Structure 1
Amino acid sequence: MAKAITQIREVPRPEIEQEQAMTEIMSEIVANKDVILKTIRIMKGLQETKVLDVVESMIDQRTEIGAIAIQQVNQPAIRNVIKNAMNAFSFLGELQPGEVSDVLEGLSHGFKRMAESGQEGKKQSSLWQLRKRLWSREMRAAMTSMMNFMDGLGEVFLRNRRENS
């Protein structure tokens, strides 16, 4: 025997669904009036400067642009640039921010001192004054830092040479 119908499902008519959708859209437009007006002003500015035309052309020609981009990326020079950029980011990730700050501050101050002495045109008057300056605290600190840098650089060069042999 058939089961009795206890519920009637009402199938919404397309006109009612469309009216509800329009009401929902209009309420969102009213709620976001400022955002929509700003977006329209931005789009108008992009249209006036022909940026939208360029973007539209790029979308129309996306296959050709993609092929050209892939050709450019496949060139050895570009691959080297990408590898070097990755190595640079890896190198920067290994450095401690405080150390980098100290080195950059020292470089900046050294360049300022060098520029000042070049503008003033001062000369070292004697070998004695040059020797005296070489034994200053600042000069010893800089020379020690440079020697440690050179030691580290040499260690890596020798290690890489052994590994490649």
Structure 2
Amino acid sequence: MAKAIRQIKQVDPAPEEWQAASLSAVVKAAAENGESLIKLLEIIKQLDGMGVLNAMEGLLQNRVDVAEIALGQLNQPTMYHVVKNGMNVFKFLGAIDPEQLQTILSGITSGFEKAAQSGGQESLWKLGKSMRSPEVKRSLAMMTGILAGMGEAMEQNHSLPEGGTDIG
């Protein structure tokens, strides 16, 4: 019957053997990815030529001071508002149907183009006459709907300005 193994001796390679194996692995990886390494070196050369590497080195050397300045700026009340407003914009955009938004934005673009063509030289007579066109009526109906919805939301949030309901 065989004798039980009670002690396992781990043999660590000599530092020279370990270094040779590591170097061999690096050379093999470089040979397999030579084209990518050349592109990476070209990118690094261009970044160095632009001064980006010097700027990054300076940032890293002064990282504590840079972090203090950045945190000081982030702690400003205005930054809190920026972050909160940004989140609200994303909520707003997420709530809008993409097709509706595309229609509205296309309409606004078309409106800017027409306004640029006319140069703002419309007479009062033409302006009054344009109020009868179906396109203008459609736009006015949409704008009054937006204003009505905004007013309802302001009333629900109790954020109407003083005298906000005494118009007209």
Deviation of 1:61 after TM superposition, in Å, equals 0.9
Please state if 1:54 is matched with 2:70: no
Distance 2:50 2:133 in 1: 61
Distance 2:4 2:86 in 1: 74
For 1:1-165, list aligned pairs within 5 A. 3=3, 11-14=11-14, 15-118=16-119, 121-124=121-124, 126=125, 131-161=128-158
Q: 1:57-97 CA distances to partner (integer Å, 9 max, x unpaired)?
A: 11111111111100001111121111111111111111111
**Structure having the larger proportion of residues in helix:** 1
Q: Aligned pair in 2 of structure 1 residues 50, 116: CA closer, same or farther (>3 Å)? A: closer
Q: Aligned pair in 2 of structure 1 residues 123, 132: CA closer, same or farther (>3 Å)? A: closer
Aligned residues: 156
Distance 1:139 1:50 in 2: 54
Q: How many percent identity over aligned positions?
A: 32
Distance 1:161 1:113 in 2: 38
Deviation of 1:109 after TM superposition, in Å, equals 1.1
Distance 1:123 1:131 in 2: 9
Distance 2:10 2:67 in 1: 51
Contiguous gaps of at least 5 residues in structure 1 = none
Q: Which stretches of structure 1, 4 residues or longer, exceed 4 Å deviation after superposition?
A: 7-10, 129-132
Contiguous gaps of at least 5 residues in structure 2 = 160-168
Q: Aligned pair in 2 of structure 1 residues 50, 142: CA closer, same or farther (>3 Å)? A: closer
Q: Aligned pair in 2 of structure 1 residues 67, 8: CA closer, same or farther (>3 Å)? A: closer
TM-score (norm 2): 0.81
TM-score (norm 1): 0.82
Q: 1:10-29 CA distances to partner (integer Å, 9 max, x unpaired)?
A: 72531323222221111111
Q: Aligned pair in 2 of structure 1 residues 135, 37: CA closer, same or farther (>3 Å)? A: same
Distance 2:58 2:110 in 1: 50
Distance 1:74 1:36 in 2: 42
